[in-house]
Amino acid sequence: MSPLLSVRDLSVTFPITRAGDMPWTAPRELRAVKDVSFDLEAGQTLGVVGESGCGKSTMARGLIQMVPARGTVMWRGETNLLSLSPRRMKPFRSEIQMVFQDPLASLNPRMTLGQIIAEPLRTHRPDVSPTERRRRVAQMMERVGLLPQMINRYPHEFSGGQCQRIGIARALIVEPKLLICDEPVSALDVSIQAQVIELLKELQRDLGLAMIFIAHDLSVVKNISHDVMVLYLGRVMEKAPKKELYALPKHPYTQALLSAVPVPDPVAERAKKIIPLTGDMPSPMAPPSGCVFRTRCVRATEECTHTIPLPEGGAHSVACLHPGPVRDHELT
């Protein structure tokens, strides 16, 4: 049986022109995402993690043609979404919905809560009667924890957590099969983050949703994901089932990210190895040769400067020439 979503060699490139360039000067290329591949089954969640600027959000937008992309994005093993025109893509947009990072900025300030949630129905289900539309909106509000008397209020009257619940309700009103969550809790307080995460997990169980969950916080990703994919400078560094990746990360970048996660145990926190990340992430306009992570890697060798490591096959894949547990002498 084919996976719900099968992505192969997804790449996103933006042409960049500089002030003073002549009309005949070829624009430079910014490679935001390069050769990303993964499969996603129905009812499963893929967590996507990495530093700011690593291409997480761009990858998600490339999947659904919000930005131009190359590669293959097979939906249910039948349709390559990247080969579709905007008109032919429209029916698939109701099956793939998105929840955005800034809950308030993603809502139209001139529309009431009821109008916002009903908008996808008017767009994708024009055959639904006004009476049925109001019934579905009320039902979805109850499901995401919004009170009926809120239906005529405007976005500025709600808290950040409530606005994100509105965004989730708007995305789910058309009964999608895949929900892409682009850092949906990063702008919320910790207690509200936990409530939204539990809501998403509950909705996934009830509706059989597949999810792509993008976040910086590895503890949040661990709580909601089945598989985790680590991106760096637009490339996949490591991808594995959640338990395996957190228990035995193989890539130095994954190890560094995990070592920075606080442990709620003073003894364990003092005993854990901290793997430093020196310097800043290079510019995607001028990525390093060979392995893109080599300029910050504790175990980089001469071979890493001219060889591009490709992710191995299998459930636990890693794009590294020298994978394995961190050694004490590498930390000095």
210, 157 contact by CB (below 8 A) = no
- Provide the pLDDT for residue 331: 59
- Provide the pLDDT for residue 328: 60
pLDDT digits (tens, 9 = 90+) for 204-231: 999 999 999 999 888 889 989 999 999 9
- Provide the pLDDT for residue 20: 66
- Provide the pLDDT for residue 251: 94
- Provide the pLDDT for residue 277: 84
Question: Which residue shows structure tokens 């767009």?
Answer: 123
- Provide the pLDDT for residue 261: 82
- Provide the pLDDT for residue 330: 60
Tell me the domains of the chain and their CATH numbers. Answer: 5-16+27-95+176-248 (3.40.50.300)
- Provide the pLDDT for residue 22: 67
pLDDT digits (tens, 9 = 90+) for 95-115: 999 998 888 888 999 999 999
The backbone torsions φ and ψ at residue 7, rounded to the nearest 5 degrees and listed phi first, read -110, 130
pTM of the model: 0.91
Phi-psi domain of 35 (left: phi exceeds 0; alpha: psi -120 through 50; beta: other): left
- What parts of the chain have a pLDDT lower than 70? 19-22, 24, 265, 269, 313, 327-332
Biggest CA–CA distance in the chain, Å, is 69
